[in-house]
A and B are shown apart, each in its own frame.
Chain A
Amino acid sequence: MSGPAPRTLFDKIWDSHVVERLPDGTCILYIDRHLLHEVTSPQAFEGLRLAGRKLRRPDLTIAVADHNIPTVGLRTPADIKEEDSRIQVQTLEMNVKAFGVPYIPIMDVRQGIVHIIGPELGLSLPGTTIVCGDSHTSTHGAMGALAFGIGTSEVEHVMATQTLLQAPQKNMRIDVSGTLGLGCTAKDIVLAIIGKITTAGGNGHVIEYTGDTIRALDMAGRMTVSNMTIEGGARAGLIAPDQTTFDYIRGREYAPKADDYDKAVAHWKTLPTDPGAHFDTQVFMTTAEIAPMVTWGTTPGQVIPVTGVVPNPADEADEGKRSQLQRMLDYMALTPGQRMTDVKVDVIFIGSCTNGRIEDIRAAAQVAKGRKVAEGVQALVVPGSGQVKKQAEDEGLDRILLEAGFEWRDPCCSMCLGMNPDQLTPGQRCASTSNRNFEGRQGVGGRTHLVSPAMAAAAAVTGRFTDVRQLG
């Protein structure tokens, strides 16, 4: 006797959202939540308008402006100084009105980075499909949702049909076991993972993170891990929902309430991967491979423990790769063999959809408490949402950070990418809690090193990369 074939969490969500399977295997996949922001939606709205199409389900859609919003001074759309940014935000406000899409205004306390507020407002739920014209939509996979980034043409497709045309993806499992060492965080886990699988390791796959290390993370940590899934090439990175997930969701604004919550939890409990389900690719790691990490290159996979040294291109056998590595070191102004702890920093950025949650601010404040930002270093702390900001202020974290010499800003994507006034100037070196260290990502000529919030705060107070474990 054989029952139904065991399925992964991804298989179950996928199967329950297939509207129709086309003859060539492409599926029309139903979308439960469509998140919009100002950068990748204007051309999609325009497309609808030109084709005379309606937005099918405004009641499954929600919009917020985040990428262009300044983190200091007046923040209402009319006050955004740069014309292109102002027009983009105003265009979003006009479009949501015209198409009847729920919208969270900039001055609302619930405003923030779209991937922070989705879970925070209870919009991101286990077992659902969530898309957004933004690659870090993978963040919501931490809720046990199938969540992935799409392009603007696909945004328009979802607007018009509430579905996407998708070819099935392969299943990949990344299992992390063991107890995290002192000073190690979810950010260090995911940086170590990307270092191991490389930036293309997840291409064509949906990842499920398993193992007791992942299971022991709080929701903020899980979101940090899922967030950077795309940096390993996979569009979606899921974590099976459990009691931690259910407790997090309970009582949030858009989450099911009362009886509906109980029914939802009963369904969510059926979602985890069945024993014996097939994974096309499996990766096993232990916490012995994870230390406080820092990237040295210009892709997120180029990462070493903070105790390490800058690699030597001469060790690379392939000539093409060797010259590309050398160009990277030139861009980053690093020398082979240089100790990371000897590298000085100019700017610290704590925030982004990767590390802009209350837990991240607490971690930074814990290191900052009783210390001072090193001379000549600028240190920004940018909460991921208005609610994170309020919570931090209620806990007095803003005062700790301000006393230490950090700047306490208003929520937005800020220095994660050069679309708003917070940017590096050419040659500046930044310890950043964001997700990408690509050339010019934080501003033309800027040099980005990805780290955890605690490591960023440690670099802020010493002026160089510092093993947070040494600070005591």
Chain B
Amino acid sequence: MDKFTTLTGIAAPMPMQNIDTDKVIPARFLKTIKRTGLGVHLFDAMRYLNDGSENPDFVLNQEPYRKAEIIIAYENFGCGSSREHAPWALLDFGIRCVIAPDFADIFFNNSFKNGILPLRLPRAVCEKLIEDSKLGGNARVTVDLERQVVVRPNGEEIPFEVDPFRKHLLLNGLDDIGQTLQHGQAIDGYETGRKQSQPWLPTIAA
């Protein structure tokens, strides 16, 4: 996983609620055994017309948002399916940060695991950032994870909250499996205890 420290980039406005993970990446593109290559299908139904050509009305088909690294949206981003293909598709396109008033829980978790920062900011702030992002290439937004601030194009700094453990993993690009495996003894101990307290709980025979 790539580190996330400070990101300065173009933000694409997507002023919609409930952008579900089927919208982010439709089910028919989940038939892959890889994590990469999904960017071309990101937001497929909104991004392409029926004949397969680009929909010129869709924000990511417009300059400068083709190179967007940040998305600003409204409530409940990432609701629906648990598919991690959603953050994989965002990442493959080049998105490293999504800013919204709130996120669906599974998408929120999945994003951190892939070096994408899902950032909760109040609706009123998101509305301001949407207005900023409409200025396109003249409106680069900075997300400084170390200092926990978003810097608007006018220089105004907006502080944000982030879970300290997740911040640590993102800043250092750490794999959390490696972190948990350091607690291997505790897991061994737990398993021994459970075997004694609940001997009736069956295992699954191969």
Contacts and interface: CB of A to CB of B under 8 A. Distances in A.
B155 interface: no
Contact of A441 (B22, B105, B165, B176): B22
Contacts of A156: 177
B202 A255 contact: yes
Nearest to B109: A151
A299 B187 contact: no
A152 B22 contact: no
Interface in B77-131: 79-84, 87, 102-106, 109-110, 113-114
B190 A40 contact: no
Given A84-B32, A88-B31, A102 B190 contact: no
Contact of A438 (B23, B32, B84, B113): B23
B17 A321 contact: yes
Interface string B150-163: 00000000000001
Interface residues of A, number: 86
A32 B200 CA distance: 13
Interface stretch (B2-10, B64-72, B140-148, B178-186): B178-186
Contacts of A163: 180, 187
Contacts of A128: 201
Most buried by A among B16, B31, B184, B191: B31
A162 interface: yes
B113 A203 contact: no
B205 A59 contact: yes
B204 A20 contact: no
B86 to A, nearest CB: 9
Contacts of A43: 33-35, 84
A157 B177 contact: yes
Most buried by A among B15, B106, B194: B106
Interface string A219-246: 0000000000010011100000000000
Interface residues of B, number: 62
Given A151-B109, A203-B104, A53 B163 contact: no
Contacts of B203: 59-60
Contact of A417 (B27, B181, B204): B27
Contact of A260 (B50, B181, B200): B200
Interface in A134-178: 134-135, 137, 149-154, 156-157, 160-163, 165, 167
Contact of B76 (A24, A32, A203): A203
B164 A24 contact: yes
The prevalent SS among residues of B at the interface is loop
A286 B24 CA distance: 36
A149 B80 contact: no
A451 B114 CA distance: 36
Contacts of B114: 153
A264 B201 contact: yes
Most buried by A among B27, B83, B104, B179: B27
Given A134-B82, A161-B177, A256-B202, A28 B105 contact: no
A59 B202 CA distance: 9
Contact of A101 (B30, B110, B206): B206
Nearest to B46: A439
A444 B109 CA distance: 28
A59 B186 contact: no
A260 B103 CA distance: 42
A28 B114 CA distance: 20
Contacts of B175: 51
Interface string A42-78: 1100100001010000111110000110000000000
Interface string A308-332: 0000000000001100100000000
A125 B35 CA distance: 33
Contacts of A418: 26-28
B18 A199 contact: yes
Nearest to A157: B177
9 contacts: A22-B165, A43-B35, A123-B204, A160-B177, A199-B79, A200-B102, A418-B28, A438-B80, A444-B28
Nearest first, the 9 A-B pairs at minimum CB distance are A153-B113, A84-B31, A151-B110, A260-B200, A42-B33, A151-B84, A149-B82, A59-B203, A200-B76
Interface of B: 15-18, 20, 22-23, 26-28, 30-35, 45, 50, 74-76, 79-84, 87, 102-106, 109-110, 113-114, 163-165, 175-177, 179-181, 183-184, 186-187, 190-191, 194, 198-206
